[in-house]
Amino acid sequence: MRQEMIGQDPLAEYLGHFERLIGDKRTSKTFGAIVRGIINAGSLICQRIAAHSPLLSATKDGAQRVIRLARGESTKRSDLDAEHLVEVLCERGVHAKVVSELREEGISCVIWITDTNTRRSPMKDCSTRVAESLAQMVREQAHEIVGQGTPASISEMEVTICQAVRQLAAQWVEIWLGEMGGALAPPEIPCTCGDQAVYTRLREGVLMTIFGRISFKRRYYLCSQCHQGQYPLDTELGYKPGEITPQLASMAGWVGAELPFQRGSELLEALCGITLSENTIREATQRIGDEVREQEAEWKAESQDVASLRKRDSLPQDGKPARLYGSLDGVLVPEGERWRELKIGSWYREARARDSTSSDQDTPPAIDITYYCDITEAEEFGQLLWATGYQRWADQAQELVFVADAAVWIWNLVSDYYPNAVQIVDWYHALEYITPIANVAFGENTAESKAWREQVTSDLWGGHFDQVLAAFQA
């Protein structure tokens, strides 16, 4: 029984198969050089070579290793002799039993491929640990679930698997938090007072995520000078105790904007298995509202900045947006005891025929829509109309079209801010004016009333405005 490292690499071994066919040494050498050149270019041939080696074919990056080998990069030939090899193999984690089995089987050739880079990547180590932990969890969970027997129905199957996946996801977050915390582990960190805060102990933190409540341990540092404590991981994550994650906050805010908070809480629980109180949803929704308000305040300031306005005015005509639409409306909403008008506005473009997936070519869909709203008087709402329009380049649009109902405040604002805009009262609201006139002139639901209404409607649709006006005046 003899064990030794032999000098042949997988590439030489592969090329060896061709030597018999080539015959003379010179051609063989040229052939070898050409193949190495091809490999250096990263050819598919590396996969073929790797496939010849039981070891390389078992790994995912076998072909890459062959390329490195050909380039003489990281795969270096060992200078170990047989005696020392066993020692090193044991040291590097190959079980002594395996080594002795190799010996007993009379293995004479060992190609040992190892990562000789001593400065290993912490990210790589981390992902390996995470993958190992998760694999272990999946195994344990699967055993537990399988132990409970086959689900009786597809619903039971879905519920069971869904719970398992959520649990796994929560554990994954926990592991990652642990890894991040571990990476931020100096014995001392600077304190705001100028002194140093010293690592004291691990303390538990709780995070509400879309996978549920997750508790994690993070390092706590205390300054002996000013007695101020700090958690570097919390700072890194932007986390404040008791807060929900931004992802969950955005879900809660969305639900809170669509539904009463209590109903939103029930919906999140039913659909996503997320338990959030009515209050948490309210807070998340209000926080999003605050963010929108801050954004709008910035826009207002920008849209009233003279320098910024001048710069846009100097833009060449063809650089300005083509047609843009605006719309405004009001709706009554309860605010405590009284009802107030919520004013809503939107900006949008019309999809061109080729953008449109709709088969109805007469009514191309509105795209690229932005909304804004406020419960306020028209005058103040006008600032928002201007500020949001400024973001959409409404003041610079080659054609600006407003479509809205006939409310006076709407057209006053449009005339004030966008005097050149095309003003269109939307079709359904325009029709609303026709019926009362018809009723007054010809009596309610009479044949004459109906006939007049149909004629005016048809004239209006056909764009015969003179005839419409004449009918109204008559």
| Residue ranges binding Zn ion (CB under 5 A) | 191, 193, 195, 223, 225-226, 228
Least CB distance to Zn ion at residue 195 (A): 5
Helix (H) or strand (E) holding 25: helix 25-40
Whether 304 and 380 have beta carbons less than 8 Å apart is answered as: no
Least CB distance to Zn ion at residue 217 (A): 23
Each residue of 154-179: b (16+ CB within 10 Å) or e?
Answer: eeeeeeeeeebebeeebbbbbbebbb
Task: Output phi, psi for 332, to 5 deg.
Answer: -85, 130
Least CB distance to Zn ion at residue 221 (A): 10
- Residue closer to Zn ion by CB (options 198, 406) is 198
- Residue closer to Zn ion by CB (options 128, 225) is 225
Least CB distance to Zn ion at residue 188 (A): 11
- Residue closer to Zn ion by CB (options 223, 403) is 223
Neighbours of 388 (CB within 10 A): 22
Whether 340 and 330 have beta carbons less than 8 Å apart is answered as: no
Least CB distance to Zn ion at residue 199 (A): 14
- Residue closer to Zn ion by CB (options 219, 453) is 219
As a whole number of angstroms, the distance between CA 398 and CA 11 comes to 67
- Residue closer to Zn ion by CB (options 114, 200) is 200
Nearest 5 degrees, angle CA 330-CA 336-CA 341? 10
CA 378, 400, 396, 392 torsion-angle sign: positive
Close Cβ partners of 454 (under 8 Å, ≥ 6 residues apart): none
- Residue closer to Zn ion by CB (options 31, 199) is 199
Q: Longest Cα pair distance anywhere in the chain, in angstroms?
A: 118
As a whole number of angstroms, the distance between CA 442 and CA 30 comes to 104
Least CB distance to Zn ion at residue 224 (A): 8
Neighbours of 313 (CB within 10 A): 8
- Residue closer to Zn ion by CB (options 172, 199) is 199
Nearest residue to 403 via CA among 344, 327, 329: 327
Least CB distance to Zn ion at residue 140 (A): 44
